[in-house]
Amino acid sequence: MPSIVDYSLPISDIVRDSTKDVHDALIEKEGTKALLSGTLSKEDYILFLMILYQIYDNLERGLERHATHPALEPTYNPTLLYRTPALDKDIAHLSQTTAWKESDLYKELSTSPPEVLKVYVNRLQQLTETSPERLLAHAYVRYMGDMSGGQNIRRILAKSYELDEQEGSGVQFYDFKELKDSKRAGLGELRRIKDWYRRGMNSATENNAEWKAAILEEATQAFIWHADIFEFLATETGPEDDLTFDDEQFPLVVEGGRPKSTWSSGFAMTSFAAVLLAFCLGHFTLVVGGFTGTKGKEKWALLDAWFKSIVPQVGAWLESSSGGSI
């Protein structure tokens, strides 16, 4: 967090610009890398969803209780935002039982939670009783992240766990409805929802520097707790899981729970243009030189390997361009 913060700025700008360090710490966690690369085992992903369920359950209970609070009312829209019902459905689908709360895994999580989850849940409950305006920070960190890079994570998980991406069972957590319709929101609509959310939180805190300082403090802590959760997931991962993750092959990081390109504001257009130009030149060389014979096969293999290595970068750029930043 910067030593000097200009609290005359909109709170969405303050939080975005002042939490870079905790973002950077979050992306270094092995659990984060496993989630983004699709190497997190299904059991560990179910555990992750169960952790999120407890976080969201307590957060959304607080938001519901204080729906008319001046800091929370402008962004109050449970039909649009609440994630607890979707988490319930995803866990049931992945664990193949609607009685998942009776499972040994969830019972152990509830009776002997990891320290970070215990502290996080206790904090949300405390804020509900004493400082509901601070709940806005936790809602911002979660919802805005889920609407951003969550769409990319949805595709990765559907492929890793062999889920029907179109039908959506098992990845409904990442699905949001349109602002004025019941249809699943596309990237353009998600961008409009995020703009609506920013306007709401900005208007709620417009002339209240004390609230802004409190929300920034709370958001920073929320990111730290999420980093600790991913660290916990890494310790829970079994020996059969390969957590090797090469940033050069898959250069995605997380900002507020969303994948983004490895620089602060997205994959630069010049970088994308360079990738496209290089690919065109490579294609031209191969076409002119031919693909026949041993040399042709070697050239094709080299192009194939190179293109596969840049596909994630192009995907990251497209995601950040279409989905926008939090």
CB 69 within 8 A of CB 133: yes
CA 59 and chain centroid, separation = 17
Token couple for 233: 């997931």
Distance CA 33, CA 122 (A): 27
> Which of 16-25, 71-80, 275-284, 315-324: highest mean pLDDT?
71-80
Helix spans in the chain (H)? 11-18, 20-27, 30-37, 42-65, 78-81, 84-95, 104-111, 115-130, 135-139, 145-147, 150-160, 187-204, 209-236, 269-289, 293-323
Structure tokens at 143: 């919802």
Calculate the average pLDDT of the chain. Answer: 80
Taking a C-beta distance cutoff of 8 angstroms, is the pair 5, 18 a contact? Answer: yes
Closest CA to 77 of 152, 180, 169, 166: 180
Give the model confidence (pLDDT) of 29-87 as tens digits.
999 999 999 999 999 999 999 999 999 999 999 999 999 999 999 999 999 999 999 99
What is the gyration radius of the CA atoms in the chain, in angstroms? 21
- Residue 1: predicted pLDDT: 60
Residue-level pLDDT at 2: 64
Average pLDDT estimate for 156-184: 94
- The structure's pTM equals 0.74
Residue 324 DSSP one-character state: -
The whole-number pLDDT of residue 24 equals: 79
pLDDT range class, residue 260, cuts 50, 70, 90: very low
* pLDDT tens by residue, 88-106: 999 999 999 999 999 999 9
Contact by Cβ (8 Å): 119, 54:
no
